[in-house]
Amino acid sequence: MRTTGTDGSPRRRGGGGLRATPLLAVGVLLLGSGGAFLLSGWGAPVPPATTPAATAATTPAATAAAPPATPPGGAAPERAFLGHGAARDTLPVWELRGDPSSDDAVERGAYLARAGNCVVCHTEDPAEPAGFLSGGKEVPSPFGAFHSTNITPDPETGIGGWSEADFVRSMREGRSPDGSHFYPAFPYTAFTGMTDGDLSDLYAFLQAVPAVRQENRPHDLRWFATLGPGLAAWKTLNFREWRFEADPQRDEEWNRGAYLSQAVAHCVECHSSRTRTGAIVANRRYAGTSEGPDGQPSPNITPDETGIAGWSQRHLERYLEFGMTPEGDFAGGSMAEVINHGTGYLTPEDRRAIAVYILSLAPIRNRVD
């Protein structure tokens, strides 16, 4: 069961929950940098006055021995401890850690899929490669239950029939190839800020994963959320396309962290309060909400005393890598999945950039119960 600590950080308690002991905490710290947002969002972020541009992180290529490839349908480890830059032809695609500095678009796209939490939302069981990115995961919301879609290249049940232009339109405009509107449970409201190059790389990766034939599950929504014209009206009121532009008053690291937090990893989508219609409350961005994407509170992650004021940059980097809080507890709920299958795969440089950006936010007092 996920709870929220006095410092606003998520924890796991109760039966089956992981509690930290001094010995365990020391053991995790000794792992160093080799160790280990649920996609949601019911509304559009208010585009910031200045939005940062994507700045490619330079990561020294590392090599690691690849574990034996597991064919689809076989057992796979929950986490693949693979180094950035590991050769793609030696690894099954679902185990790719990805490399943002690679010359291979699929490698770069694999990294973005982890950073954007595609694996967390679009895989019902991330530890089971047979269903990798084939959808079916339930995403609770105040409007009912959404079910993530199949984004493998299956031509009938996935996105195998989509062109790159179709894919970019879905990410930028929240529209399907036939022009119908997507629900903002798919956070195109954040992805619209991604660069052309990153969207192209992500498309290349999604077309390279094994095709899985699996029909999409229908959403189970309250009656008013099923009205077709309502989506168009919602977008008119709450959604604006936007692109990131570097803040010239900030350095490259800060801009990189802002790009990842606001667009790719879309932290703002899960950690912000919303209006009754599902739009993000402008003065509560990153300040947490009692109605998080898994039906549990999402903590305030601004540097306020009701948020993470007691966290150092290193604390936040460690949390994004291992899920360990400054107090020695561990993340639970959807955030544990995000770390296990998302931020834990990022380069140390990118985790540091996110930490730099988050800790630079204006503190907002909002105690989340």
* 142-190 residue pLDDT tens: 888 899 999 999 999 999 999 999 999 999 999 999 999 998 889 999 9
40 pLDDT exceeds 50?
Answer: no
> CB-hemisphere CA count at 13 Å for 97?
30
Q: 71: exposed, middle or buried (C-beta count within 10 Å: 0-12, 13-18, 19+)?
A: exposed
Higher pLDDT, 315 or 67: 315
56 pLDDT exceeds 70?
Answer: no
pLDDT in tens, 248-265: 999 999 999 999 999 999
Higher pLDDT, 126 or 59: 126
> CB-hemisphere CA count at 13 Å for 148?
28
**Poorest-pLDDT segment among 217-226, 231-240, 262-271:** 217-226
Q: What is the pLDDT of residue 292?
A: 80
Give the whole-angstrom CA distance, residue 343 versus residue 114.
Answer: 7
The band of 91, judged by pLDDT with boundaries at 50, 70 and 90, is low
Q: Which residues of 273-292 are buried (b: 16+ CB within 10 A; e: fewer)?
A: bbeeebbbeeebbbbbbebb
Residues 10, 16, 20: CA angle, nearest 5 degrees: 55
204 pLDDT exceeds 70?
Answer: yes
Give the whole-angstrom CA distance, residue 16 versus residue 164.
Answer: 43
The band of 278, judged by pLDDT with boundaries at 50, 70 and 90, is confident
Residue 319: enclosing H or E segment and its boundaries? helix 313-322
pLDDT in tens, 280-333: 999 999 999 988 877 788 999 999 999 999 999 999 999 999 999 999 999 988
**Span 197-215, average pLDDT:** 96
Could you tell me where the beta strands, DSSP code E, fall in 121-231?
Answer: 138-141, 144-147, 220-221
Q: Which residue pairs from 96-103 have beta carbons closer than 8 angstroms and sit at least 24 positions apart in sequence?
A: 97/345, 98/205, 98/345, 99/59, 99/61, 100/56, 100/57, 100/59, 100/347, 100/350, 101/56, 101/57, 101/58, 101/59, 101/61
Q: What is the pLDDT of residue 27?
A: 34
pLDDT in tens, 7-29: 334 333 333 333 333 333 333 33
Q: What are the residues facing 181 on neighbouring strands?
A: 175
Question: What backbone phi and psi angles, to 5 degrees, belong to 135?
Answer: 80, -165
SS (H, E, C) 189-200: HHHCCCCHHHHH
Q: How far is CA 62 from CA 83, 317, 329, in A?
A: 5, 20, 30
Give the whole-angstrom CA distance, residue 113 versus residue 104.
Answer: 14
Are residues 231 and 8 in contact, defined by beta-carbon separation less than 8 angstroms?
no
Q: What is the pLDDT of residue 107?
A: 94
Mean pLDDT score of the chain, rounded to an integer? Answer: 78
Q: What are the residues facing 141 on neighbouring strands?
A: 144
Give the whole-angstrom CA distance, residue 81 versus residue 32.
Answer: 13
Mind giving me the DSSP string for 256-315? HHHHIIIIIS-HHHHSS-B-TTSPBPGGGTTS-BSS-TTSS-B---SSSTTTTTT--HHH
Token duo for residue 127: 């530890």
Residues 252, 118, 8: CA angle, nearest 5 degrees: 70
The total of other beta-carbon atoms located within 10 Å of residue 93's CB is 16
Higher pLDDT, 4 or 207: 207
Give the whole-angstrom CA distance, residue 261 versus residue 133.
Answer: 22
The band of 221, judged by pLDDT with boundaries at 50, 70 and 90, is confident
101 pLDDT exceeds 80?
Answer: yes
**Span 35-55, average pLDDT:** 35
pTM score:
0.76
- The gap from C-alpha 193 to its chain's centroid, in whole angstroms, comes to 14
Q: What is the pLDDT of residue 16?
A: 30
**Span 69-83, average pLDDT:** 35
Token duo for residue 248: 């010239």
